[in-house]
Structure 1
Amino acid sequence: MPRIRLSIFLSVFVAMVGLMIIAPVMPPLIRELGLSEIHSGLIISLGSIAMAAMAPVWGNWSDIKGRKHVILIGFVGMFASYVLFTATMYAGLMQFISGGLLVVLLIVARALIGLFIPAVPSAAQAYMADVTDEKSRSSGMALIGAANGLGLVLGPAIAGAFALIGLIWPLYVGTLLPLVALVVVLLLIPAQKPVIQAKFPRVNPFQKGVRLYLFAGLATMFSIVTLQVIAGFYFQDQLSLTTQETARMVSFGLMFSGVAMIITQGLQMKKPKWQPKPLIMVGSLLLMMSIALFLFVVSLTGFYLAFFLFGVGAGLMMPGFMTGASLAVAREQQGGVAGLVGSVQGISAMLAPILSTILYRLDKHLPFALVGAFVMLLFLTMLSVPNKSAANASATGNQDLME
């Protein structure tokens, strides 16, 4: 069991680092290539669309083909995609290719990364559901949340460190990491039979018991991505900072959030007493408190405190919605529901940058106000759900499938 948990943790961590390591170096690389911000937006957005579309496919396939099989395919695909992306970047920087061909190749390579990355967390989350019972499920999902949080913190940090050597060096690291994880998975995860032995209904994202936690996942991930996208603009405008001061402050702030998230989920792993509903509700309250600080306290100390509270809130909500979704379906559908959770993350990564930047142009406070309203709606929705219904989501979800 410990080696399986370690493998799952490492797999999700590498997938998150692979996703995050590109973000800090994309803007300067795009400008070095002589391309515009619009090209950068296209490359990133189409990668997010691929993630949202493919996550459910990989999840369902892990039910049919086996978790380890899908994780291995994901890492092989990530490696090949990163080779193409890095080679294209290198060719562009060396001026071997340029113009429309360069843009097309970058879009294709980034879309392939988005296609293969969700195979890993989707199958890993389903595997965690396989090796935990209902009482320890939230502890297992907290481990996955901690892997996400650690990747969120270390991905940009690794990129920043290797970017000191050269802008393209973080991409070299992103290419090698899947190979390391591939070896670990091959050695540590035992061969596993597919969980589907006969035809079983696919998970419907709108079925009772599932939709509630997918909505919670959407609110959580939308909030996280929005903060990542507009934090730099907001704090520079609010505190009249230089670009270097802004970069330093936002890096520290996101680090505080990531550390708070990891600590919170570490405590949840040790004492997995809370069920999905209280995890989400307490996390929502903390997230709303952090939004209030962002909106009404214009000081560096206040903003750092807001980042920390945001991390604690998100650290409670992530295992909450993953556990709730997992308990809402049968064992034969764990891959399917894990894929839907991955799809929600992709949808958030696609919608949040567009909405938050449009709203920011209208008023710099509007993106935070939207996040606050979204999270408050989630809190009120969870409050209206009877405790018995939330606690027995698995039974209701499976009952719906039989009707």
Structure 2
Amino acid sequence: MVSTKSQSKEWVTLPKSTQAPIVYLVVLLAFMGQMLLSPIIAPLSRELGMQEWHIGVAISLAAFMVVVASPLWGKTSQKRGVKPVLTAAMLVALLALIAVAAISFLGLRGIWVGPSMIIGFMLTRGLIYGGAIAAVTPAAQTHFVTQTETEAQRVKAVGGLGAVNGLASILGAVLGGGLAAIGGLMLPLIVTPLLMLAGLIVLVVFFKPAAQERQVEEPKSVSYFDPRAFPFLISGLMLFVGFASVATIFGFLVQDRFALSASGTAGVAAVYMALMSFALILAQAVIASQLGWNSVQLMRLGFVVTVVGLLLIMPGGSYVLLGLGAITFGMGAGLAMLGYSAGPTMEMSQSEQGSLAGLINSNNGAAYVIAPVASTALYGVSPYLSLGIGVVILGLVTVFVFVHPKFRALSARKV
């Protein structure tokens, strides 16, 4: 770990002289392999004969594995090192994505259909892939947080990681939608494991952890209900419930509102998801740094803007209004996510950072256990029901981050 302030600053302000670009590239490729499927998941599920709730269960299973595995991955990355953890996890994720492509190929051609095919899809895309990909964010966050000291440095480092995730969403959505439009739903499924393979090669060949990144023999555990972290975690959970709900039903919403075909839905949904992700990147990589605010201040602004964005998404029939809603929602979510992820790191010791990183990722995954099944079920009742409930939830959390004593005490902290 870094022992001097000047070293920790170097990791944030001069990333080209460190391994930071390699870590960012690995994360980018890993999550592009996930986000490539986002614009095609709704039409793919229908072409495979699945009901909406089937794909909701598959996403929730993956999220459940993130919840279970993330704390273990976080502590292990601090004890065993970032590179071994990422290598093992990405290899398993690669094999799972190959299996998903094979199952989809057989299903689309009617060779393997019915309940057993659906179960196979859920096991590979849900349990196996979810458990493996759960390692990426905790390991990367542990790597960056243990190289920084001040809140400004943490915000910038975690913001960079969030921006890379957002960039993966943009590139994955655009590439996935474009490939589907060119070669059908099967082409993105073939490219997905290739991106994961590229990330694995970059990791193995180029990532060389610095000598000062000593492992922690006995990383300390952080409880979810630790008062230093709990207000951040409960706020982040509700934020991701809202975000995951919108992401899950977005493809269905686009297809049903504008009466599009399966391939047409993939292309249009990809554009909107790219806009949302671009706004998220802009918020985390540019706006947050220009504001110079602390984590709580970023959370407060982010939640307010997120609620406004969701209100803009609710009306139907307008491409323009849906686009404005997607941009606003993405920008608000980006600011709130950054504050929620960086804020509690300032409350913890170095030996607790791995556990905290795993806990944050587990918390995010918990939202994806709840939201996909609930939002798709509610969507089946009414397209506006899940969006309306999202507005209520995020509105209540907005009030919470303004009135909770912990946030009130930290809001005036200098960065």
TM-score (norm. length: structure 1): 0.86
Taking the TM superposition and a 5 Å limit, the aligned residue runs for 1:11-90 are: 11-34=26-49, 36-90=51-105
| Structure-2 residue corresponding to 1:401 | none
| Structure-1 residue corresponding to 2:401 | 382
How many positions carry a matched residue from both structures?
390
Per-residue deviation at 1:319? 1.2
The reply to whether residue 344 of structure 1 matches residue 360 of structure 2 is no
| Structure-1 residue corresponding to 2:139 | 123
Question: 211, 216, 219: which one pairs with 1:196?
Answer: 216
Q: Which runs of 5+ in 2 are unaligned?
A: 1-10
SS of the equivalent of 2:215 reads coil
SS of the equivalent of 2:183 reads coil
SS of the equivalent of 1:190 reads coil
Question: 224, 230, 234: which one pairs with 1:211?
Answer: 230
Q: Distance in 2 between matches of 1:363 and 1:297?
A: 13
Counterpart of 1:345, as a letter, is: N
Counterpart of 1:196, as a letter, is: V
Q: Distance in 1 between matches of 2:166 and 2:260?
A: 26
SS of the equivalent of 2:258 reads coil
> Identical aligned pairs, as a percentage?
27
Counterpart of 1:40, as a letter, is: I
Q: Distance in 2 between matches of 1:250 and 1:24?
A: 6
The reply to whether residue 137 of structure 1 matches residue 157 of structure 2 is no
TM-score (norm. length: structure 2): 0.84
The reply to whether residue 160 of structure 1 matches residue 183 of structure 2 is no
Counterpart of 1:266, as a letter, is: A
Q: Distance in 2 between matches of 1:14 and 1:86?
A: 18
Identify which range, 125-134 or 301-310, moves more after superposition: 301-310
Residues 230 and 316 (structure 1), Cα distance of their counterparts in 2 relative to 1, 3 Å cut: same
Residues 34 and 357 (structure 1), Cα distance of their counterparts in 2 relative to 1, 3 Å cut: closer
Per-residue deviation at 1:103? 3.4
| Structure-1 residue corresponding to 2:242 | 223
CA contact (8 A) 2:39 2:251 kept: no
Identify which range, 298-307 or 199-208, moves more after superposition: 298-307
Identify which range, 176-185 or 27-36, moves more after superposition: 27-36
CA contact (8 A) 2:66 2:134 kept: yes
Per-residue deviation at 1:179? 2.1
Per-residue deviation at 1:176? 1.4
Counterpart of 1:309, as a letter, is: T
Q: Which runs of 5+ in 1 are unaligned?
A: 394-403
Identify which range, 208-217 or 15-24, moves more after superposition: 15-24
Question: 326, 342, 345: which one pairs with 1:323?
Answer: 342
Per-residue deviation at 1:169? 2.1
Q: Distance in 1 between matches of 2:145 and 2:195?
A: 25
Counterpart of 1:82, as a letter, is: L
| Structure-2 residue corresponding to 1:293 | 312
| Structure-1 residue corresponding to 2:166 | 149
Q: Distance in 1 between matches of 2:82 and 2:110?
A: 42
CA contact (8 A) 1:62 1:194 kept: no
Counterpart of 1:118, as a letter, is: A
Deviations 1:149-173 (A, max 9, x none): 1122221222222222242221222
Residues 353 and 102 (structure 1), Cα distance of their counterparts in 2 relative to 1, 3 Å cut: closer
| Structure-2 residue corresponding to 1:302 | 321
SS of the equivalent of 1:209 reads coil
| Structure-2 residue corresponding to 1:114 | 130
Residues 84 and 366 (structure 1), Cα distance of their counterparts in 2 relative to 1, 3 Å cut: closer
| Structure-2 residue corresponding to 1:397 | none
SS of the equivalent of 1:243 reads coil
| Structure-1 residue corresponding to 2:374 | 355
Residues 119 and 392 (structure 1), Cα distance of their counterparts in 2 relative to 1, 3 Å cut: farther
Residues 272 and 294 (structure 1), Cα distance of their counterparts in 2 relative to 1, 3 Å cut: closer
